[in-house]
Amino acid sequence: MRLINKKLKFTIIAVVAMFFTLPHTTILAQNFSTVIPMGEWAEYKKIAYSGNPVVVHLRTGYENAVIFPEPVNIRSIDNKLIRNESQMSLPNCVIEINVNSVGFKPLARFTEQRVTLRGSDTGIIYDLLVSSSPNGSRQPLEVSN
């Protein structure tokens, strides 16, 4: 009888543990077919650019943006020169530039990629280290000089 109670307790604990970890493993492996629009944000996360790369950790499945103090053009992704807009993407993530706003639309998680942009007015080179995961941020960034 005592052995049966131990086995029953172990089985219950194992089932409960599996129940709580199952949703998390499903979310971590999830890829999206569409991205949820960014919408309106009352407050942007502000970052002063000092020449060091800015870490941009995106939440997979959600559109996000980085706003710069001047118009920007993309120069390279992981040190590969970008010559036209068709080359402007990360793994499973579209990049869109609209004057001083750089939008990211990650459909799946990806590891850190270096995105280099050049300010049209000042010539400042902005480096971003961009990645995506289900734990990434949804809050847009605003970069200042």
**pLDDT tens track for 8-53:** 555 555 544 454 444 444 444 456 677 777 767 668 899 999 999 9
Residue 65 backbone phi and psi in degrees, to 5: -140, 155
Q: What is the pLDDT of residue 21?
A: 46
Between the CA of residue 96 and those of 20, 35, 79, what are the distances in Å? Answer: 38, 13, 19
* C-alpha torsion 14→17→18→19, nearest 10: 120
Q: Are residues 71 and 126 in the same domain?
A: yes
Rounded Cα gap, residues 16 and 88, in angstroms: 45
Q: Are residues 72 and 13 in the same domain?
A: no
Q: Are residues 69 and 122 in the same domain?
A: yes
Q: What is the pLDDT of residue 16?
A: 47
Strands (E), the chain: 45-48, 54-59, 64-67, 72-77, 80-81, 89-90, 93-98, 101-106, 110-119, 125-133, 141-144
Under a CB-based contact definition with an 8 Å cutoff, are residues 117 and 75 in contact?
A: yes
Give the CATH number, domain containing residue 129.
2.60.40
Domain count, the chain: 2
Q: Are residues 104 and 138 in the same domain?
A: yes
Q: Are residues 15 and 68 in the same domain?
A: no
Question: For residue 72, what are the β-bridge partners?
Answer: 119
Rounded Cα gap, residues 101 and 112, in angstroms: 20
Q: Are residues 15 and 57 in the same domain?
A: no
Q: Are residues 70 and 136 in the same domain?
A: yes
Under a CB-based contact definition with an 8 Å cutoff, are residues 126 and 54 in contact?
A: yes
125 or 14: which leads in pLDDT? 125
Q: Are residues 18 and 55 in the same domain?
A: no
Range of the domain at 11: 1-30
Strands 54-59 and 125-133: parallel
